[in-house]
Amino acid sequence: MPATMLADGGTNLQLASRTYDVDGIAAVQELYHSNGWTDGLPIVPPTAEAVAACLEWAMMPPDQLIGIEPVRGLAVTAEKLAINAVMAGCLPMHFPVVITAWTAMMREEFLMHGATASTGGCAVLVVMNGPIRRELGAAGTFNALGNSDRATAVIGRALRLCLINLMDVRPGAIDRSTLGHPGKFSFCVAEDEEDSSWLPLAEQRGIPKEASAVTVMAAGAPRQIMNEWTTKPEEILETFAAEMRANLRHYSIHPGNYALIIPKQLREHLQAAGWSKTDVAAFIHERARIHRREWATVGKGAVVRDRGDSVYPAMDSPDQLLVVAAGGPAGGFGAVIPPWLGNKSHAVTLAIGACVDCEPPKG
Amino acid sequence: MTFQVLDPTPETAPAAGRLAPRLPSLEGRTIGFISNGKEGTKGFFRHLDRMLREDHGVARVVSRTKSNYSAPADAPIVAEIRQWDAVISGIGD
């Protein structure tokens, strides 16, 4: 039944989406699953009331244009984002993060279409920074890359449902992933800013300290490392660099944004020695590189050709490394999160709720 | 309990591209290939090139390769399409 309807609660928000009257929660699930509108997990019924609450929290009218996907020209409104956010389990307070992350994903340099359609099967990694993490209870400690908390779980899931429903990024449709990885259900991490002396990622990437922000990156699955047998920064970081060299050999030689997730135990050694994120990135940039001839050692001799001496760095420059303080307090672990396919997609950082069109304060 | 729930999709189909009018014959025509540059395109387009020339009398085959196989064709390639009678776009996966 196509309908224009008024949301309850005296909001008078006019929602334009088609509505379905469904008898019971089980029938709601079957409706959404049978239409291909889910990620396979149950959804929260997106009622007009719940969707209107999200829009009101973000102070957006339903028909607010969030953006137009640059490759296929698909327009996305706030109402449609909100419906998918509610389905993912978002509360209204989570919605501004979803809007900002989605806006970042629609930037041309992110190449949303290529990254989400590719056989390479990447996910969208979201890193949250700033005060909003604490307001939402987003936790960057225990199990940081897994099911650490409600906020990161539902925000990451909302983006996947938006891709599925708004961009037709369904397996076998636009999503042509050969394998994909579990981060495609949800892949959102909050940086542990309280327990780190490092600059938060967003601040490192030019966002004012007081602002909350998200960074999105087209990301492969995390590759976990362990080194509990040293306190020397060079040795700790050599383990990370070695994992990146492995990725260059085994997966892709293209340089681009890599993320390093550095939990407290290893982070404290680096910080005690006075190493900043910039120092970490400079060291990694020097060490994470291979000769093309190394491909011959992993069964890829056919593509070495006459360029065996060519050197391939993991990043074009140190600032392509996204260093994130996150993880539980114990364990000499860390993770390298490789790019989908090098510079074909660039990580994007945006402040949450910043008005880019506002005039500067007068006087 | 009855729920009134909302459609999470765009509901309107995106503007679809239209196929160009079919050519009555390929004889003497210029055909453009746009490859995404992946390994699998090489043999495919090589074979297709020979088929079009030898079996269908195509006069000229112009081969172009995108600079980024995950992004739309580069503007100069798109501009060149006007000079061709037909175009075949292929991916190598």
Is A114 in Cβ contact with B70 (below 8 Å)? yes
Q: What does the pLDDT read at residue A5?
A: 43
Q: What percent of chain A has pLDDT over 70?
A: 94
In this prediction the ipTM stands at 0.91
Question: Closest approach of chain A CAs to the CA of B29, in angstroms?
Answer: 30
Q: Where are the domains of chain B?
A: 30-90
B16 contact residues in A (CB cutoff 8 A):
none
> For A143-164, how does the pLDDT look when each residue is reduced to its tens digit (9 = 90+)?
999 999 999 999 999 999 999 9
Q: Where are the domains of chain A?
A: 22-220+346-354, 221-338
Place of tokens 């109402």: A79
A17 contact residues in B (CB cutoff 8 A):
6-8, 11
Q: Which residues contact A310 (CB under 8 A, 6 or more apart)?
A: A291, A292
Question: Closest approach of chain B CAs to the CA of A51, in angstroms?
Answer: 9
**Backbone torsions φ then ψ of A150, nearest 5 degrees:** -65, -45
Chain A 167-186, CB below 8 Å of chain B: which residues? 176
In the structure, what pLDDT confidence band is assigned to residue A24 with cuts at 50, 70 and 90? very high
* A362 or A101: which leads in pLDDT: A101
Q: What does the pLDDT read at residue A358?
A: 52
Q: Which residues contact A205 (CB under 8 A, 6 or more apart)?
A: A215, A349
Q: Is A115 near chain B, with CB under 8 Å?
A: yes
Please give the residue of chain A at the shortest CA–CA distance from B9: A165
Pairing of strands A213-219, A348-351: antiparallel
User: Is pLDDT at A360 greater than 90 in this prediction?
Assistant: no
In the predicted model, what is the mean pLDDT of residues A194-205?
Answer: 98
User: Is pLDDT at A293 greater than 90 in this prediction?
Assistant: yes
In the structure, what pLDDT confidence band is assigned to residue A363 with cuts at 50, 70 and 90? very low
> For A107-130, how does the pLDDT look when each residue is reduced to its tens digit (9 = 90+)?
999 999 999 999 999 999 999 999
Please give the residue of chain A at the shortest CA–CA distance from B14: A74
Q: What does the pLDDT read at residue B18?
A: 79
Question: Closest approach of chain A CAs to the CA of B61, in angstroms?
Answer: 27
At A22 the three-state DSSP class reads strand
> For A213-231, how does the pLDDT look when each residue is reduced to its tens digit (9 = 90+)?
999 999 999 999 999 999 9
> For A30-70, how does the pLDDT look when each residue is reduced to its tens digit (9 = 90+)?
999 999 999 999 999 999 999 999 999 999 999 999 999 88
Q: What does the pLDDT read at residue A1?
A: 38
Which of A164-173, A266-275, B12-21, B42-51 is predicted with the least confidence, judged by mean pLDDT?
A: B12-21
User: Is pLDDT at A4 greater than 50 in this prediction?
Assistant: no
Is A165 in Cβ contact with B4 (below 8 Å)? no
Question: Closest approach of chain B CAs to the CA of A323, in angstroms?
Answer: 27
Please give the residue of chain B at the shortest CA–CA distance from A75: B10
Q: What percent of chain A has pLDDT over 90?
A: 91
Is B14 in Cβ contact with A161 (below 8 Å)? no
Amino acid identity for residue A247 in this structure: N
Please give the residue of chain B at the shortest CA–CA distance from A18: B7
Q: Is A118 near chain B, with CB under 8 Å?
A: yes
Q: What does the pLDDT read at residue A3?
A: 38
Burial of A34 (C-beta count, 10 Å sphere; 0-12/13-18/19+): exposed
In the predicted model, what is the mean pLDDT of residues A264-275?
Answer: 98
User: Is pLDDT at B92 greater than 80 in this prediction?
Assistant: no
In the structure, what pLDDT confidence band is assigned to residue A12 with cuts at 50, 70 and 90? low
**Backbone torsions φ then ψ of B6, nearest 5 degrees:** -110, 150
Is A23 in Cβ contact with B2 (below 8 Å)? yes
pTM, full prediction: 0.92
Determine the Cα–Cα distance for residues B57 and A292; give it in Å rounded to an integer: 43
User: Is pLDDT at A2 greater than 90 in this prediction?
Assistant: no
B4 contact residues in A (CB cutoff 8 A):
19-22, 47-48
Q: What percent of chain B has pLDDT over 70?
A: 97
In the predicted model, what is the mean pLDDT of residues A257-271?
Answer: 98
